[in-house]
Amino acid sequence: MAFLAKRRSASAMTLTAPGPNDEQLGEILRIAARVPDHGKLAPWRFIVLTGEAKDAFAERIAPLADSQANPTKATAALRKLTRPPVCVAVISRHIPGEIPEWEQRQSASAVCHQMLLAAAALGWGANWITDWYSYDPRATALLGLADGEQVAGYLYLGTTTEQPQERQRPDVAAITSYWSA
């Protein structure tokens, strides 16, 4: 409980090498995949970006920043992608059938959160971000998404160069109610 009570995301800009090696990343992904998944559909998948491949992806989407609402901010956001040594794109997909799409999309979000917890438990800094390149159809096409797939998040992993800052948390009592008949 103490671990969960103190969990914080590291700023993507403070994440540097080294990052998880292949064995550690495999463990993080296995743990991330142990989320609630009604119907055992695995309505998500992982795309790992590291090294030269990550740099090439960032280079290919960089020109797309000019067409965003705020090109300067969009270009700056790419540093979140290029600085951390490991990036995992969690891809959400809907598999037609009995399980509602909403539940399947929620499962992908749970994967992202579980990955944050797994990385932190192994001592890595981690951040879950969706930025403009999560939504731009040209960027998602470059990433290799199929029709109906969406980026649930980019998980940035690495060594933190500074302690994650605490932020104000919600007042749980103010957002909690008890239903009664």
Annotation-wise, does 7 bind a ligand? yes
pLDDT of residue 117: 96
φ, ψ for residue 97, nearest 5 deg: 155, -155
pLDDT of residue 27: 98
pLDDT of residue 2: 83
**What is d(CA 165, CA 10) in angstroms, rounded to the nearest whole number?**
8
CB atoms within 10 A of CB 176: 8
pLDDT digits (tens, 9 = 90+) for 11-27: 999 999 999 999 999 99
Return the DSSP state at 52: H
Annotation-wise, does 8 bind a ligand? yes
Annotation-wise, does 128 bind a ligand? yes
**What is d(CA 30, CA 27) in angstroms, rounded to the nearest whole number?**
5
Copy the structure tokens of residue 95: 């598999």
Copy the structure tokens of residue 89: 């794109």
pLDDT of residue 6: 81
- 89 and 46 Cβ atoms separated by less than 8 Å: yes
- 34 and 114 Cβ atoms separated by less than 8 Å: yes
Copy the structure tokens of residue 143: 């990433």
- 62 and 78 Cβ atoms separated by less than 8 Å: yes
Annotation-wise, does 124 bind a ligand? no
For the domain spanning 9-64+76-163, the CATH number is: 3.40.109.10
Copy the structure tokens of residue 172: 């749980």
pLDDT of residue 169: 84
Annotation-wise, does 34 bind a ligand? yes
The whole model's pTM is what? Answer: 0.93
- 65 and 139 Cβ atoms separated by less than 8 Å: no
pLDDT of residue 7: 82
Q: Which residues of the chain have pLDDT under 70?
A: none
Copy the structure tokens of residue 91: 């891809």
pLDDT of residue 154: 98
